[in-house]
């Protein structure tokens, strides 16, 4: 719903921006080699986003044997998926909001804010370093707020499930917390790179439009979610076809036989 509206709003400006870019190439303001470098970097950023948005660490989960009908039953092992980027686009949104404060304070005439505002202009290396640092901080902060290893360990214990080689309870919670911390390091570095590289690329090559890292993450994320939903719908339709009219025909043939 809302995600698709945001997606459409971002993508709707692309044709006009691409037309302006090719117009500048035609009149010589942008060199064709630079345009190829920009396109290669953009494709590289998109590939990185696709990889990390789909990346997961899967923890193996086993269930204790149960007595059913006088027999010991082994439940099928499963896994606990942990996304590398659990925080999504929240860290860059928080970071961008905080970096707007100097501009707001400067508009009210607060002393010293004008100089700070100039230092924190998008495309500046100071802005990139501050923005990347804030993305890393908020990635860890939001992951810690959103994901609770203690609750996950308690739920596993209630379901008679455990991670092989790890004692249930507190030890499991500590193990999951360590795993989440390690993968969040990779996720935070990914956010910092993706959210700062497009702005630096825009300032270096003087492209007439700027598609930020946050916008790219939203576009790619919505596209991936839409494809997954379509695949799930097609699979559901496939199983409905197997258990629908064809099953009725099979039953009628058996009845005749």
Q: What's the CATH code of the domain at 136? A: 1.10.3370.10
| Residue 177 domain-assigned (yes or no) | yes
- Give the pLDDT score at 251: 46
Q: Tens digit of pLDDT for each residue in 11-61?
A: 887 788 778 777 877 887 777 787 788 888 888 888 999 999 889 999 999
Q: What is the DSSP string of 20-83?
A: HHHHHHHHTSS-HHHHHHHHHHHHHHHHHHHHHHH-EEEEEEEE--EEETTEEEPPPPEEEEEE
* Spatial CA neighbour of 66 closest among 74, 57, 58, 76: 74
Average pLDDT over residues 86-91: 88
* Spatial CA neighbour of 52 closest among 242, 219, 184: 184
| Residue 251 domain-assigned (yes or no) | no
Check if the beta carbon of residue 132 is closer than 8 Å to that of residue 192.
yes
Spatial distance between the Cα atoms of 40 and 34, rounded to a whole number of angstroms: 10
Q: State which H helix or E strand residue 162 sits in.
A: strand 161-162
Q: State which H helix or E strand residue 110 sits in.
A: none
Strand-pairing partners, residue 81, are 58
Contact residues for 188 (Cβ-Cβ < 8 A; gap 6+): 91, 135, 136, 139, 140
Q: State which H helix or E strand residue 9 sits in.
A: helix 2-11
Q: Is the pLDDT of residue 180 over 90?
A: yes
| CA 131 distance to own-chain centroid | 18
Q: Tens digit of pLDDT for each residue in 183-228?
A: 999 999 999 998 888 777 777 766 656 667 778 888 888 888 888 8
| Residue 7 domain-assigned (yes or no) | yes
Q: Is the pLDDT of residue 139 over 90?
A: yes
Check if the beta carbon of residue 213 is closer than 8 Å to that of residue 189.
no
| Residue 246 domain-assigned (yes or no) | no
Higher-confidence residue: 255 or 189? 189
Q: What tokens appear for 199 in the block?
A: 């702005």
Q: Tell me which residue has tokens 């396109």.
A: 39
Banded model confidence at residue 177, pLDDT cuts 50, 70, 90: very high
Task: Domain of residue 59: give its range.
Answer: 2-238
Average pLDDT over residues 230-247: 68
Banded model confidence at residue 243, pLDDT cuts 50, 70, 90: low
Q: What tokens appear for 194 in the block?
A: 């993706």
Q: Please, what is the end-to-end C-alpha distance for the chain in angstroms?
A: 51
Banded model confidence at residue 250, pLDDT cuts 50, 70, 90: very low
| Residue 34 domain-assigned (yes or no) | yes
Q: What tokens appear for 172 in the block?
A: 């499991």
| Residue 250 domain-assigned (yes or no) | no
- Give the pLDDT score at 154: 93
* Spatial CA neighbour of 212 closest among 225, 196, 228, 227: 196
The DSSP secondary-structure symbol of 217 reads H
**pTM to 2 decimals?**
0.77
| Residue 243 domain-assigned (yes or no) | no
Q: Is the pLDDT of residue 72 over 80?
A: no
Count up the domains in the chain and report the number.
1
């Amino acid at each position: 719903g809302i995600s698709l509206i945001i997606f459409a709003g971002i993508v709707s400006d692309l044709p006009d921006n691409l037309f302006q870019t090719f117009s500048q190439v035609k009149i010589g303001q942008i060199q064709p080699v630079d345009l190829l470098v920009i396109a290669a970097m953009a494709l590289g950023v998109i590939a990185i986003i696709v990889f990390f948005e789909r990346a997961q660490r899967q923890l193996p989960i086993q269930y204790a044997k149960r007595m059913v009908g006088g027999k010991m039953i082994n439940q099928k092992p499963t896994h606990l998926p942990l996304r590398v980027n659990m925080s999504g686009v929240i860290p860059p949104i928080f970071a961008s909001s905080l970096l707007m404060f100097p501009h707001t304070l400067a508009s009210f005439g607060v002393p010293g804010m004008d100089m700070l505002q100039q230092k924190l202009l998008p495309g500046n290396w100071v802005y990139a370093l501050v923005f990347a640092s804030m993305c890393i901080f908020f990635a860890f902060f939001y992951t810690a707020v959103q994901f609770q290893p203690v609750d996950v360990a308690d739920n596993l214990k209630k379901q008679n499930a455990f991670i092989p080689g790890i004692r249930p309870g507190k030890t499991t919670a500590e193990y999951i917390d360590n795993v989440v911390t390690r993968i969040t390091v990779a996720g935070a570095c990914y956010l910092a790179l993706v959210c700062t590289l497009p702005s630096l690329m825009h300032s270096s090559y003087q492209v007439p439009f700027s598609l930020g890292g946050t916008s790219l993450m939203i576009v790619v994320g919505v596209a991936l979610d839409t494809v997954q939903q379509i695949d799930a719908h097609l699979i559901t339709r496939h199983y409905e076809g197997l258990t629908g009219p064809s099953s009725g025909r099979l039953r009628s043939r058996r009845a005749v036989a």
